[in-house]
Amino acid sequence: MDESGGVEKVGRAVQELVLKADNVPKNYMYDEGGCGFGDALMPSEDDGIPVLDLLRLSSSSSAQQELPKLHRALHSWGCFQAINHGMESSFLDKVREVSKQFFQLPTEEKKKCAREPNDIEGYGNDTIYSEKQRLDWTDRVFLKVHPEDQRQFKFWPQSPNDFRSTVLQYTESLRLLSEVILKAMAKSLNLEENCFLNESGERSNMFLRFCYYPPCQMPDHVLGFKPHADGSTITFLLQDKQVEGLQVLKDDQWFKVPIIPDALFINVGDQIEIMSNGIFRSPVHRVVVNKEKERLTAAMFCTPDPEKVIKPLDMLVDETRPLLYRPVKNYVEIFFQYYQQGKRPMEASKI
């Protein structure tokens, strides 16, 4: 509790809890009887999370064969693993390395870019709203990385000293890649290729979240990230190279997301589910923790200009597919309000 008698909004770093406490604190624990979070299925190769070759998807000679695969992937799973995305393996290692070096710094050093109690940008973890809330076993660095004039460098780690240049280069690579994917998605729906990009606006936003999941003594009772769907248009996830943890819900069953070296895991977020009038689904996913090993990931969220009204594209609404969603504006804001109350933010838009 803070001095005003309310709940203290900024908790201790999970990384410190691991070092100091013998037991996992109660507000991180689900159900006493064991939840079997690790019991998810490993999808088979034929029937699993699709793997798409982005070079084939964007080259005119092979796109006609690849676009239907993209359509099927986003309709059934809402996600896929992207290979041949054009980023060197050594560069992806560099992105992982700068975040690892940051999380290895002493707490005092990391706190130099700590988030404010009522904001999410910077270094920190879950905002605490109530004592009943279940917290995620993770520390994060959350940064608004695009557009350029909205970067708040006071929240960006100064150390390691190549953190900033690496993040800027990664942002630019994913900004270009997001255009390739959003165009391919439109084409796979037989729409004009720029339609999702136009809906997102010229001042679309990008947010980068590095997550550090320390090892946890009770992996059956604790989650690294509770079940949620993303509020983005699309999300790019750079997974840990060795340690699995991400799971996707499909047909009421949890599936593990396998590690494919240097692939990017790409998923649709709620705003594309809305724009596509439900043809592409925004998958619910969660993260489990590991007893021995730490895990590090980087998630890049692309979102429309908050001033743009987002609604299903007219071309995707007809008698056979009636309008499923109401228009929304600044969905990222709505997203956090609903998420904090434990509600699926998409409910704000469903008809």
Ligand X SMILES: O=C(O)CCC(=O)C(=O)O
For ligand X, give the closer residue by CB, 137 or 156.
137
| Span 150-189, contacts to ligand X by CB under 6 A | none
Q: Is 172 helix (H, G, I), strand (E, B) or coil?
A: helix
Of the candidates 287, 313, 334, 346, which one interacts with ligand X according to CB under 6 A? 287
Q: Mask of contacts with ligand X, 307-346, x by CB under 6 A?
A: ----------------------------------------
Least Å distance between CB 223 and Fe ion? Answer: 12
Distance of alpha carbon 228 from alpha carbon 136, whole angstroms: 12
Angle in degrees, CA 296, 254, 219, rounded to 5: 50
Alpha-carbon distances of 111 from 48, 97, 98, 108, 308, rounded to whole Å: 41, 19, 16, 5, 34
Residue 211 binds to ligand X (criterion: CB under 6 A):
yes
Sheet strands side by side (includes 139-146): 51-53, 79-83, 264-268, 234-238, 295-303, 205-213, 139-146, 122-124
Residue 273 binds to Fe ion (criterion: CB under 5 A):
no
Residue 246 binds to ligand X (criterion: CB under 6 A):
yes
Backbone angles phi, psi at 53, to 5 degrees: -95, 110
Residues binding ligand X: number (CB under 6 A): 11
Q: Are 344 and 337 within 8 A, CB to CB?
A: no
Q: What is the CA radius of gyration of the chain?
A: 20
Least Å distance between CB 320 and ligand X? Answer: 33
Of the candidates 115, 221, 285, 308, which one interacts with ligand X according to CB under 6 A? 285
Residue 241 binds to ligand X (criterion: CB under 6 A):
no
What token pair was written down for 46? 């034929």
Q: Are 54 and 82 within 8 A, CB to CB?
A: yes
Least Å distance between CB 248 and ligand X? Answer: 10
Residue 256 binds to ligand X (criterion: CB under 6 A):
no
Distance of alpha carbon 254 from alpha carbon 226, whole angstroms: 13
For Fe ion, give the closer residue by CB, 54 or 300.
300
DSSP 191: S
For ligand X, give the closer residue by CB, 124 or 312.
124
Which of these, 279, 299, 307, lies nearest to 200 by C-alpha position? 307
Partner touching 211 among ligand X, Fe ion, none, CB below 5 to 8 Å by kind: ligand X
Distance of alpha carbon 338 from alpha carbon 345, whole angstroms: 5
Of the candidates 113, 263, 299, 316, which one interacts with ligand X according to CB under 6 A? 299
Q: Mask of contacts with Fe ion, 230-269, x by CB under 5 A?
A: x---------------------------------------
For ligand X, give the closer residue by CB, 13 or 246.
246
Partner touching 223 among ligand X, Fe ion, none, CB below 5 to 8 Å by kind: none
What token pair was written down for 163? 């953190």
Distance of alpha carbon 181 from alpha carbon 60, whole angstroms: 14
What token pair was written down for 207? 């947010």
Residue 270 binds to Fe ion (criterion: CB under 5 A):
no
For ligand X, give the closer residue by CB, 227 or 322.
227
Residue 209 binds to ligand X (criterion: CB under 6 A):
yes
Partner touching 237 among Fe ion, ligand X, none, CB below 5 to 8 Å by kind: ligand X
Return the residue matching tokens 């992996």. 219
Residues of this chain that bind ligand X (CB under 6 A) = 209, 211, 225, 230, 237, 245-246, 285, 287, 297, 299
Residues of this chain that bind Fe ion (CB under 5 A) = 230
